[in-house]
Structure 1
Amino acid sequence: MKIEELVLGSFGKWQDASFRFAPGINLFYAPNESGKSTILQGIFAALYGMKRDYVKTARYLPEYEKYRPWQSGSYETIITYKLAGKTYRLHRQLTKEREEARLFLDPEWTELTELYLEDRRKERNFIEKHTGLTRSLFTDLTWIRREPLQAAEHLIPTFTTAEEANPAVQQILAELDREVALIGKKERAENTLLGKAATKVAQKEQEKENAKVAWRTISQLTLQIAEAKEECQQLELRRSRLQQHLERSIGQAKVLQERWQRSHAPVSQQDWEWWEQTAHSEGELAIHQEARRGLTQVNMPTVAVQQMDDQLIPLQHDYEKGAQLLKQREALHIRLATLAVSALSSSPRRSASRSTRQDNQAKRRRGAALMWGGAGILSVLGLIGFVSGHPILGGISATVALLLFGFGVFLLRVGGSTGGVKQTADQDAVQDSQKVQEEIASIDAEVTTLVQRWGASNWDTFLERREGLLKSTNKQQSEQLLSEMAKTKQEADLSASWGEALRNLLDQEKNALETEQGKLRIEMAGIEERLQELREQMARGSGEMVVHESLSLSRATDELEEAQVALRQLQNKRDALQLAREMLQEAVGEWRRDSTPAVNQQASEIIEHITGGAYRDVRLDPRDGFAVRLLAPTKQMVLEQDQCSTGTIDQLYLAQRLALMHHAKQAEPLPLFFDDHFVHYDEERLRRTLDYVTMLAQEHQVFLFTCHERELRMLAPLLRQEERHAVHRIG
């Protein structure tokens, strides 16, 4: 196998870097940290990718993160290699999200990707199909380094060829090792199929137990939810009743408040009936009845006052009637006086002399003055009579005063008159006077009858009797007024006492209602809190039931049986694989008997050559990962590898890898990789080792990475003469 070209699109520090390789020695000379190891890792990544071997799922090597592109760019490689006379071009996209590998055949670049089937990890494994070597085996054989083998247990099948054993042995042993590793030997191993199956069985057993517990839990939860629902219904019914009671109590409180306000208003007879009819208790009814009885007793009328009223009313009526008659009588007297004056003025006085008329005129003036003076005196007497309560006396005095005043006026006006009155006028005046006198007599008779009805002889006696009755009545009315005021005060006191007693009772009832309402609200709040707790309990129970309902007991039982069957199948498969492996152990034993001496001989020859004969006898132990043991020539002691010097240890690792690779039956020689492997070699060891490497380079492609000039200096003559070799300077 020859690697012709490597292209690193973006890999570690390298970006869009291309390297072409010679078929012999490729010496990479550069200081440390210049990217030599990155090129080596790029070759391995281009050939095999960056995933681990011998694991069921795709797991990446630690180097995956280490060699991510330092700069922006696609994490990819392209490698061209020649194998079995054919040239292949392998493209790899290493980014996890869009990982891809494609294989082309030169020179037409025909794509061969689909010809390689994917394994269980969705990997096509092109190089493994070409060489029969996994990444671990390839690096174990070709990378000469100071480390133990990574896949020593998988190396043995690679040493068997078609001539030595059945052609299928190599593949069978490799598959057996993979299958046994995948299945595992112990059920407690977590990362093996057997361990996972056992874990699944245990998990299904636990799920079955959980399903049983869930079934019991669901039964309990169902019962608890039913009990909670029943309690909720009872509580809601109780809350509804309390709410109705509370609303009724609030309504009663409003009614009490209205009654309390109405108790301040005056109370009529209808109001008393309303109060008694709407009394809320016997105590309230007793308060109303007692107040009503007290008010009834206070408002009882006095009999004497009522009798005086019965006498005073007709007396007053007769008084008003008599006063009216007297007014009419006075008017008739005035008319009679007027008629008398008219009669006097109509007498003939034709024969009187002028002197006589003058004397008469003076006499008339004196008479008029006397009349007017008398009229004034009578007017004063009439006014006094009216003021002092003697209207009859006052009326008569006023009437006479008017007559005297009229006569005086008449005397002044008719004093100088000399005409006569006709006979017919005198006669009419006499007739009118008679009618007036008749009417006056009728009025006097009616007044006499009126006053005699009351036991009086005349109007003045009647007035005195009326005055006495009025005084008595006024006195009784005053006494009655005082009594009414006392009644009013008693009524006010009774009403106030009634209102205060009623309001005290209403306040007590209101306080009782408020206390009751407080208790009802507290009880309702407690019910609401309990209902909330029950609702939350039912919600939690329903949620838990939903969770537990997903755990079906029958399904868990079926899954447990399936898991147990799968575990038994894996156990049977493991037993079959172990049996097959045991059967192949004889072939391995034969290899050990036949091939181990050859491998040990090859390793001894290599160590003798590169140590200049200092060590000649080396053994590789296949049962211990091909560990190297050395026979000290002087003391004939067997030394473990780690008991030797640093340089000798490096040489033993070199002899181990080269011997194993020599006996690994490959169709073509594999390339060899040295990454600063000779750093602990002295000059003589390095010279002899490079001579041996030069000899190997006749068949193998060699990649030698170094940061020292010794390798370049020692190989310079060979590198200048041979076109088969090349020097790659980096940096």
Structure 2
Amino acid sequence: MRIDELQLKGFGKWQDAEFHFAPGINLFYAPNEAGKSTLLQGIFAALYGMKRDYVKTTRYLPEYEKYRPWHQGEYETIVTYQLAGKTYRLHRSLLKEREQARLFLDPEWTELTDVYQEDRRKERNFVEKHLGLGRSLFTDVTWIRREPLTAGEHLMPALKAETEEANPMIHKILGELDREVSTIGKKERAENTLLGKASTLVAQKEQELRHAESVSHEVGRLSRQIADWEMERVRQEQQRQRLLQGREHWAKKDEEWQKRWQLSYTAPDEQQWVWWENSAQSQEERSLHQGTRQALRRLQTTMQDELSVNLSNSVQIKQRRELEHIQQDYEQGVRLRRHWEEAHMELARQAAASRLSIGREARQSSGGAVWPWAIAVVLAGLGCISFLFDQAGSGGIALALAFIAAGYGWWMKSKSKAPRKATDDGRSEEWQNIQQEISQLDEKLGMLLRKWQVTDWDAFLERKEELHHQLRSHESERLTSEIAKKEEESTLLQEWGRKVRTCLAREKEAWESERTNWQTELSRSEERLQEIREQIAKANGQMEAHEGVFVAQARSEYEDAVMSLEQLQVRREALKLARDMLQEALEEWNRDVSPAVNQHASMVMDKISAGVYREVRLDPREGFAVRVLEPARKQILEQEQCSTGTQDQLTFAQRLALLQHVSQQTEPLPLFLDDHFVHYDQDRLERALMYLLELGEQHQIFLFTCVEREQLFLAKWLRAHDRHAIHQLA
């Protein structure tokens, strides 16, 4: 089953909301109160409505009032889903006063509503008729949550063994049957049981009847005649019951015929081909299945041979290898060109930095040496002036200080030149290294271009695109051939379906006459039974006329007592037979189904726990309670005895085991998870999500989460495949 589209005209916070779902994993990441749980409940409501199942009268779910539209609008949903190769569109109006459900078949939108009869709740149960699962069973199997199963007692009949025999029943029914048998009583002489009281009453009424018959010989004669008619009535009723059992036979036969008719419109897989051959009603039909299957195999073999020829073509192999080599050289060339550009940019940056450094050093050197020279000039001037005014002592001192200042300026200038020279030497060496690197890159690029006999990089790119174009041409030819084969395969299947339906039409004509004879015989039996009842009623009237009320009342009371006793005896034997059959069926179910379900649950737990827990058991007698074997101490633990994370993993394994087993009987069912992984650590989460990715290839999965972990881990896989999708809730 796959849900393609959901429209919530009015459901909780959603109004005129439309959602399209991918066939694989659908990840909904949004914070709390964004409407994730409302959307999930909207899916269930669209498929099953808002009424409780397993009740005789109409009762609505507690969630009915909770999800009434918050805004002005209709309480209405529309869902489009696929089942058994067909696409259905289901409209629901959920308001109690205007409740309505209509089903259409795409693409023509043919209305199928009247095909489905209403049950006692005035519900048509479209999806339940398709899947065999009511709302409670559907949510138990498809919705992974820690809560126990809500319909565990009804789940076992839905799980069929692979032998396709009778469904197992539950222990609660067996207990009820035992209590019913005890209430009726095992011995007719027990006074405190219903059977004993009925036997006593029969004996009492029989004595009263004998006393009344002794009063009148005529009454006795009539009594014997009534007894004969009663025996014939019993025989006629038994015959009628046998004929009524034929109604189930013909209904089952018609249902099987309808199933085969519908399946004739779908392409069988390998397992279905075996089913078609085994269920064939004639040699002609069996030969048709075998011939079509062999033709399809030959066609598939031809396609595989052509694929092998294409794969072994030496020219294509050479082109692929050449394309791989040129792709590798392209990646290498891109890296070389990027390094070449980076080297040139570094060389330009060094040149700019050198120019800035030289200017800065020149300013620093000139500014640092100016003041000593200025002082020297001033002092020399003062000395000269002192000599002019005949002050030789002061002039000598000034000239001496001038010489000292000049020497200090000369020393500062020499000191500033030395670091600049060292800096220039370092830059020169770095430039040489960069230029050497550029030369090496040019040489490598030249070798790469010469390898492919091209002159420049653009020519190299043209050479690469040419190889791509050649390979695409070959692939296009191969795809054209495959499409032709697919069309031939489709033609074979269409012709097969037409011939199968012809055989089915002839088959139905053959057993329609048998059913007509059965209906005629049933009508005759009912007419004869009615005639006998009228005769008995007439005889009772004669008895009443001859003997009065006393004789008629005695016989009536006797017959009622006998009938009650017989009914109790028949009921007791039927209850015993039902109990024995149910016990045998349950044991057989445990042999056939329980190992498969337990094996799958153990496999899932082994994967998601990294081999820590490998043995898991589900107990159908206790609502499929989960137990696990603790590996270290080899102890059997109940689910409640494990850690919170392990409990969630066991729930995950339990639901997936049931989901897989039910899906094998119908088709892959969807899976729903609403913040299920909140107690998983990162390792457990990643293993569980990887298993969901595997499961998403066959099942549609709805994953709702309010944390970002799932999105961060799954994003790279979900965005890489069209089968999956990430949804944003606005």
Q: TM-score range by the shorter chain?
A: 0.3 to 0.5
TM-score (norm 1): 0.45
TM-score, scaled to structure 2 = 0.45
